[in-house]
Structure 1
Amino acid sequence: MAPTFSAPPVSSSRNRARERADRAERTHLLLTEIDDATDAEKDQLIAQLIDVNMPVAESIAARYRRRGIPDEDLEQVAYLALVRVAHNYDHARGHDFLSYAVPSIRGEVRRYFRDQGWMVRPPRGIQEMQGRIAAVESELSTRLGHPPSADELAEEFDEPVSDVEEAMAANGCFTPTSLDQVPSSDTSTIADQLGEPDTGIDAAEARVVLTPVVRRLTERERKILDMRFFAQCTQQEIADEIGVTQMQVSRLLSSLLRRLRTELESGAATPAEDSR
């Protein structure tokens, strides 16, 4: 069954409308007082203007909640943007305060979110599309009666569907799934299901390269290499086995390794040469 979305209560909508009207009226009165205030009085009035409009900053920050950045950080960025706007706003130009403030606050929050919110950073266009989707997704869900599809979002933005789909797929870049998470259908973590590095490939490649060189060694030399590097014998154990001193074994190993290195670097040892 498709999920249903109920419209918000009428009383709630009326309360929000009343709050907006009260805020607009108080903002207008404060701005009028600021115009006629002395420099000493202006700071106090601007502080009141900021306090009255803090819910606006909180509302803008709320659009980016639960995406990997603490709510308090987002709100602080929005508050600081509101403070700058309140101090820079020129009422004499005739522009509405909120029409000037909201885009400025939103821009600051978006920049902060764009710079701090991505653990895996996709291209700038994808980031911006993600922000646009977040801004309208809730309203579209209420209007359509179901979560909007990529096609419906693309129609809303007048953008290619492929761009919207790519932005939706990048949603996990904000907070990637933890490797310690246990899938609902299993008892092991995601990390437990990852493959281990395959060291066998390197070993097979080494055998292909070394085989023709080793075959040209004497039986005694091959035995020394086998005991030292495969059986992990000490130099003294090798000396006891082949009837020489430990110092002689050390010199023999150094000489053997030097010969192997020289032949490998010169390219004298190749599988093709061994096959002839």
Structure 2
Amino acid sequence: MAETTPCPRGRDCDSPDTLHLFRRLAALPHGPERDRLRQEIIAAWLPMAERVSVRFRKCGESPADLRQVAALALVHAVDRFDPRLGCAFESFAIPTITGELKRHVRDHVWSLHIPRRDQELRAAVRAARTRLEQRDAGTHVTAAELAAEAGLTEEEVRRGLHADGVHHTLSLDHPIAGADDLPLAETLGLPDRALELVIDRQSLKPLLDALPERERYVLYWRFFGNLTQQQIGARLGISQMQISRILSRTCAHLRRQLLAAA
């Protein structure tokens, strides 16, 4: 079994001494013995992979999924590690696992993808804010203080602040604070079909004003008063057939004038 390195505080660390196992693994051909030894190494380093996954606990992904991604990255690290290069496995595995976790968060967790530079600024600003708050808890951290702490310009700090939180989107049912729990969906506008008719109405207005009074009344009562042709005819003392002809003739006349003006 893999041995763990004694910790200075008297407890076992999660950095097991597996160098001799890696050397044996590199020398073994593919087969049951090599598979068993590989599984032993993976099991020995699994606590370390889980420790790395904990760093991403605030990213919005479930801890179980993060552990699974870290474990899979650990398997890849074990398969790719070459003990003959002289570096410690931990120094090789941690960047590998961290990179896979970052890639998973970027590709699967963020609802809105932003440029890599904005992601880097977001991380730098968050780290600077944490350091400042730990040194002087309870105070409001300004953009200038964040810029000085992170070594950024105030414009870069503002970009980082704007990028914070974009990886989460709100449900349309999310209640709005201070609005009597009004859902977000109630505040969103809907397509206004009348906007598409503004130009047509403005173009039509002078043409309507130029119509004879009877034709204007017929159009108004039919399309704005919602009267039937029979009701309009009763008001004007003419037949329904005459009203139908007036409507057809007037609409055709307006259509020709609009097309000619276009």
Q: How does the TM-score come out when normalised to structure 1?
A: 0.73
Q: Helix, strand or coil: the match of 1:187?
A: coil
Match of 1:225 among 214, 219, 223: 219
How far has the Cα of 1:239 moved from its partner? Answer: 4.2
Contact 1:63 1:135 (8 Å CA) reproduced: no
2:29 is the alignment partner of 1:61? no
1:1-276 matches, within 5 Å, as 18-20=11-13, 23-40=14-31, 41-133=33-125, 140=131, 144-146=135-137, 149=141, 150-151=143-144, 154-155=147-148, 157-189=150-182, 191=184, 194=187, 208-242=202-236, 243-246=238-241, 248-267=242-261
Letter paired with 1:172: G
| Unmatched segments (≥5 aa) in structure 2 | 1-6
- Structure 2 match to 1:272: none
How far has the Cα of 1:35 moved from its partner? Answer: 3.7
Distance 1:232 1:174, change over 3 A: same
Aligned length in residues = 251
Cα distance in 1 between the residues matched to 2:250 and 2:36: 87
Cα distance in 2 between the residues matched to 1:61 and 1:134: 18
Distance 1:169 1:49, change over 3 A: same
- Structure 1 match to 2:4: none
How far has the Cα of 1:24 moved from its partner? Answer: 2.5
How far has the Cα of 1:180 moved from its partner? Answer: 3.4
Distance 1:137 1:90, change over 3 A: farther
Cα distance in 1 between the residues matched to 2:128 and 2:22: 31
Question: 1:2-28 deviations in whole A, cap 9, x for unaligned?
Answer: xxxxxxxxxxx976x8443xx323333
Distance 1:79 1:151, change over 3 A: farther
How far has the Cα of 1:145 moved from its partner? Answer: 5.0
**Percent of pairs identical after alignment?**
31
Letter paired with 1:163: E
**Higher mean displacement: 129-138 or 160-169:** 129-138
Letter paired with 1:176: T
Distance 1:249 1:42, change over 3 A: farther
Q: Which has the higher helix share?
A: 1
Distance 1:176 1:163, change over 3 A: same
Contact 2:19 2:83 (8 Å CA) reproduced: no
Cα distance in 1 between the residues matched to 2:94 and 2:144: 29
Contact 1:117 1:174 (8 Å CA) reproduced: yes
Q: How does the TM-score come out when normalised to structure 2?
A: 0.76
Letter paired with 1:175: H
Distance 1:141 1:49, change over 3 A: farther
Distance 1:44 1:234, change over 3 A: farther
Distance 1:35 1:122, change over 3 A: closer
Question: 1:53-99 deviations in whole A, cap 9, x for unaligned?
Answer: 22333233333334333333333222222111111111111121111
How far has the Cα of 1:44 moved from its partner? Answer: 1.7
Q: Helix, strand or coil: the match of 2:15?
A: helix
